[in-house]
Structure 1
Amino acid sequence: MESLREQLKIQRRQQVKESEAALHRNSSLLQDLQKIEERLRGPRPRPQLLALETRYWASVEESLPAWEHFLLGKGPHPTHGPGPRRAKQKASTARGQGLPPRPEPRTNPSER
């Protein structure tokens, strides 16, 4: 009985040591992961990119209800059903906004 009690005490001490070592190892790994995460974030994006991203997510949130209905099978496809649609931009309007002209169609070299 006494020897069993001593063995249990030894096992408990060993478990405590292993637990403390694991805790130390885990905290070290967590710190390493946090450092890696900070390095991966890199430099801050430009303000124009942040503004574009903000507008994109606002657009996603705005169209989310229509897509939810469609994906749940409760409504028509958002681009086919009734609802607000954006008017297509005319080519002359697009070029007036400083966009480059469209490239000329390529011709087959054998036709020259």
Structure 2
Amino acid sequence: MMASYLAQEVQLAKRLEETLSQRSLLLQQMENNLGDREAEKTWQMQEADAAHKRNVVLLNDIEAAEKKLQAREHLLLHPNTVILQTLYWTKIEESIPKWEPFFLGRTQAPVGIRKIKQ
């Protein structure tokens, strides 16, 4: 009977050792998972902080662009002025062929232009 208790004691000791080994392994896995989650959380916080900083910079850029556009709005020319400028430069471009030989020194001023007395 003593041998039977000894065999049971040995068997129970082995089961206890296996159980403690499994417990130790599971505790290590839990610690690893906790460390991984903390590292992931830290990474997410850093990414969120970086995204927030980028958003602030973008918002500031948008506000600066808006202010520039509002400032330019007051500088825009009246439509009548734009029409006059367009007509003026069209007339200049039409006159260039008549004046080109004169500017190149090949002929006198085009007909209809009075010479200024010096």
* Structure with the larger helix share: 2
**TM-score under structure 1 length normalisation:** 0.46
Q: Which has the larger radius of gyration?
A: 2
**TM-score under structure 2 length normalisation:** 0.44
